[in-house]
Each structure stands twice: as structure tokens, then as C-alpha cells.
Amino acid sequence: MTVPVKTSKLIKGTTGDWEVVIGLEVHAQVTSNSKLFSGASTAFGGEPNSHVSLVDAAMPGMLPVINGECVRQAVRTGLGLNAKINRRSVFDRKNYFYPDLPQGYQISQYKSPIVGEGEIVVELEGGKSATVGIERLHLEQDAGKSLHDQRPDVSFVDLNRSGVALMEIVSKPDIRDADQAKAYVTKLRSILRYLGTCDGDMEKGNLRADVNVSVRKPGGPLGTRCEIKNMNSINFIGQAIEYEARRQVEIIEDGGAIEQETRLFDPNKGETRSMRTKEEAHDYRYFPDPDLLPLEFSEAYVEELKAGLPELPDPKKARFMSELGLSPYDAGVLVAERESADFYETVLENLAHQVRDGKLAANWVINELFGRLNKEGRDISASPVSAPQLAAIVDLIGEGTISGKIAKDLFEIVWTGGGDPRALVEARGMKQVTDLSAIEKAVDDIISANPDKVAQVKAKPAAIQWFVGQVMKSSGGKANPQAVNDLLKSKLGI
Ligand code: ADP
Ligand code: MG
């Protein structure tokens, strides 16, 4: 059973302990070919102002037309967050002036968002998990980008992003420390990537978070919060929270008060600094956009999208545990990213049926493959060993053709030079020796050459490992370890 998060780390101040309260507003770029209200491309990295329609540039008389795909993606995301889908929602104008916002307002949703309350299960340390509440999800337009570093005397504006669809996903103030906040963003990003509704690429700014932080005495009323804007790295989110919470504790303990404001994190200094005082909703003069009808869905529309959702990380983890007998840890590692889960499932599909062993396959994917990929800083999509190749290696172990030790050599050969594992075993004579007479000869040789050790092993049976090692060595690692053990035990009489 999953429970709401609890405070795990308190901050020690001079007046006692402080609890940190955190809520996140995540902006996730919707995966779609065109923008929220225009047909211009959403492709990343185009020449400045090459993906701009007359609507995005806010030419007079242009009218927005809702992109059905963006709406579907938002509803699918809501369903993936176990959230209430609002069958009627409204687009509002959020008015403000900024050079990268040619309309003079952002089309967003205010009082009636497309998605209401939901929740996310986050993985915490020590294998624990807890739920974080989702307040709402709404659709809105992204703004353009001001470029101040091209020339010393003027600034430029690139409108390629202008009008791209964003989902703003707002959490409840349920998060209690930096690690929980990092776990929350990690899990949210994973769910979005499973759904294919946002690619989660934080470096490109396709997923960014505004982090609200306040402190209070444990169990007391909520304190005044500061909002740290536009964080696009999970590690920086953690650092910013740690810094900001301590800053607030020090101010309060020095007799000061927290002013609600918007702050920026400086990754070089590891500090947050003030950007502006917090604006209120009325500063934006929100009103329903007269150019757009409310969005209305039938129940059948929502049901159809629900039926088409992929298996998400939590149910997949549960299934890996119940159907394949994986440990919670292994299952958790495999489902953490959609690509890893896909890879593992492709390995399973490629295993020969009679020896299908999900646990052995999981060990090889996690320990050998992921271990090696991590060491070389490679992504799974760039793995030199493919899922069918890894399946062949696992099959060769499972059916007893090669030992686990030889399999590591084989993995190395496939990693560096590729090839069909089964053919490689054949060509290089790597097969495990199960021929009992050959093993027996090796066992006899070792026993007769080492009478002193034979005497020792009678007194201390654990010393049999020395004999096993010698026989394996003399066979070049190819003797079947079980057969070696059995023969040694019977010959040594232990
Ligand atoms: P706004 O739209 O003005 O930023 P919201 O009420 O929508 O305000 O809250 C924004 C975010 O701030 C939410 O994620 C919420 O959980 C979080 N939040 C609200 N109150 C607090 C608080 N006292 N401390 C920390 N986070 C808070
Ligand atoms: Mg806000």
C-alpha cells in the first residue's frame, strides 16, 4: 500500500527543527508535430523564426484553431496521472507584456483546466514509495525567446517556440525534502515518456519546473513560499531546495519574515537570488478567450483514449514481480525508463521458450548490460549488444551450453566485435564440458597430485572450493560447475 509522503528530513535551526514544504509546477512540452493553435512546426533547432505562422506572430485578424492532437495528449497524460478528466474546460487569456510574447497575452487555462486532481507514486530511499497529489494539469502556449547575447547593442526575438503546446502540471504542496522533489520529477518524467506525451528532454527545455519552497515548524501552518523559476535539471532542483530552505530558516530565526517572491537559481554559486516580487492572479487580468470555444468531451472520447494507454511503470513493475518473480528492486530498475523496460521485454520475447527465465534475463540486463553502459556513459539506445544478442547469451547459459563465467567472456566478445553469440560459441570452442569422463580425469589428476589438501578437506569440507577452482582452471573455465562439484564430493567422500 502506498501512503502520502512524510517528513523524512528536518532542518536543524537555532530555535529547533523546521519542516520544508515543496510544491512543483512542471511545464512539459507536448509531443505533437504542430503548435497548440497553429499549423507551424514544433521541430527543435530550426533557424530562428523559421517555424512561425501568422497566428504565432500575432498578426492582426488571425484566429487560433485548437490542435486536436495536443488535446488528446493532455487527456492521455491526465489519465496516466490517475487524474480526473474535466469534460468541459475553458481557455483564458493571461495578459502581460514581454518582447517574446507578440499577442500581449498567453492563452492558458485558469479556472477550468482540462485535468483536475490526480496522484503520482514516487520511489523513495530504502525501497519505500509514497503518493504526491496532483492539483491540476492545464494546457497553455509557450512564449518565444529573447536573445541578448548575439550583439552588444540590440536584442533579438526568436518566435520558433511561440505557441508550442505546454502542459503545466501542478503538484499539491505534498513534498517534504529535496530528495522527494527529485524523485517526483524523475517519476513524472518517466510517466510522460511512457505515454509519449512529452519527450522529457530537460536540456532542450522541454521539461522545466518552477519550485515552490516554504518552511514551517513541524505540523504548524504553511509558511510563506518563494518560487524558484525555470529549473531544467533534476540535480539543480535538489540543490536549489536545500539552499532556499536554509535561507528561509535563517531569515525567520533572525527575526525577519519571508516575502513571497520569484527567485532564480544560480548553478555556479549554488544560490537562489531574487528576481521579482510575486505577481498575483489579478495582475494578469485573466478572462475567457473570446476566440475559442470551451473544450467539451464525450465520455466515449475519454474512454477510447484510456483504452489506448500503454502499460505504465507502476503496473509494469507489479507484473514483472508477480509474473516473472523479479525482486522489487530489479523490477524497479527495469521499469524506471521506458527504453530499459522495452529492452528487457524484447530480450524476453527473444528467449527460447523451453528455458525462458525472466530472472536470469533481468540479472544480465541489469548487472552486465546496464553496468557496462553506465561505466562507458552510454545510453541504452546506443548499446553495442542488442536485445536478441543478449537473449541468445541468456539462452546459452540457461540451457547449460556455457557457464556464467564463459558467458561474461562471450558478452565481452559480442560487445566489442558483434556477431551471433551461438555461432561464436561454436567457432571458438567455448562450450561447457559436460562430458563426465573428461571432467572425471581432471578431478582424479588434481586429487592425486595434492594428498595434503585431501587430508585438509576431510577436516574442513568448505575447502572443497579450492578443488573446484583447480578443476575449473584446468578446463579453461569450461567444465560444468555442478558436475565438478558432484564428482569432487563423491571422490573426496564429503
Ligand atoms: P500560483 O499559481 O500563484 O503559483 P498555486 O496556488 O497554483 O499558486 O500554487 C503553485 C504551487 O505552489 C503548487 O505546486 C503548490 O503546491 C505550491 N504551494 C502552495 N503553497 C505552498 C507553500 N506554502 N509552500 C510550498 N509550496 C506551496
Ligand atoms: Mg505559479
Of 346, 24, 80, 317, the residue nearest 196 (C-alpha): 80
**Residue with CA closest to ligand 1 atom 17:** 23
What ligand 1 atom has the least distance to the C-alpha of 24? 14
- Indicate whether 125 pLDDT > 90: no
| Distance, CA of 157 to CA of 147 (rounded, Å) | 6
Q: Do 116 and 84 meet the contact criterion of CB atoms below 8 Å apart?
A: yes
Which residue has the CA at smallest separation from atom 11 of ligand 1? 23
pLDDT band (50, 70, 90) for residue 2: low
Atom number in ligand 1 closest to CA 171: 14
Q: What is the mean pLDDT of residues 405-421?
A: 94
User: Residue 148, by phi and psi: left (phi above 0), alpha (psi -120 to 50) or beta?
Assistant: alpha
Question: Is the pLDDT reported for residue 224 higher than 90?
Answer: yes
Domain residue ranges in the chain:
11-306, 311-427, 436-492
> Strand 105-108 vs strand 92-95: parallel, antiparallel, or unpaired?
antiparallel
Which ligand has its closest atom nearest to the C-alpha of 284?
A: 1
Give the pLDDT mean for 76-84. Answer: 98
How far does residue 190's CA lie from ligand 1's centre (Å)?
23
Spatial separation of the C-alpha atoms in residues 186 and 166, rounded to whole Å: 18
On the question of pLDDT at 59 being above 70, the answer is yes
Residue 237 amino acid letter: I
Ligand 2 centroid, distance to 25 Cα (angstroms): 7
H or E segment to which residue 13 belongs: strand 11-13
Q: Is the CB of 309 under 6 A from ligand 1?
A: no
- The confidence score (pLDDT) of residue 405 equals 85
**H or E segment and range at residue 156:** strand 156-158
**Ligand 1 midpoint to CA 170 (Å):** 8
Q: Please, what is the average pLDDT of the chain?
A: 93
R_g (Cα) of the chain, nearest Å: 30
Q: pLDDT tens digits for 288-347?
A: 999 999 999 999 999 999 999 999 999 999 999 999 999 999 999 999 999 999 999 999
Name which residue sits closest to atom 5 of ligand 1, judged by CA. 170
Q: What is the pLDDT of residues 261-293, one digit of tens each?
A: 999 999 999 999 998 887 777 889 999 999 999
Is the confidence at residue 233, as pLDDT, over 60?
Answer: yes
Is the CB of 222 inside a 6 Å radius of any atom of ligand 1?
A: yes
Is 449's C-beta closer than 6 angstroms to any atom of ligand 1?
no
Distant-in-sequence, close-in-space partners of 333: CB < 8 Å, separation ≥ 6: 340, 366, 370
Query: To test ligand 1's pocket by mutation, which of 117, 212, 241 has the most ligand atoms within 8 angstroms of CB?
Result: 212
Strands (E), 433-489: none
Ligand 1 midpoint to CA 314 (Å): 27
The residue among 63, 90, 77 whose CA lies nearest residue 29 is 77
Confidence of residue 128 (pLDDT cuts 50, 70, 90): confident
Nearest to 116, CA basis, from 94, 138, 132, 131: 138
Q: Is 173 touching ligand 1 by the criterion CB < 6 Å?
A: yes
For 346-360, what is each residue's pLDDT tens digit? 999 999 866 678 999
* Over residues 150-176, mean pLDDT: 97
Distance 413 CA to ligand 1 centre (A): 54
**CATH class of the region 436-492:** mainly alpha
- Tracing cell 527529485 back to the chain, one arrives at 182
Verify whether ligand 1 is closer than 6 Å to residue 188 (CB atom): no
Buried b (16+ CB within 10 A) or exposed e, 300-339: eebeebeeeeeebbbebbeebeeebebeeebbbbbbbbbe
Q: For 182-186, what is the mean pLDDT?
A: 97
pLDDT at 1 over 60: no
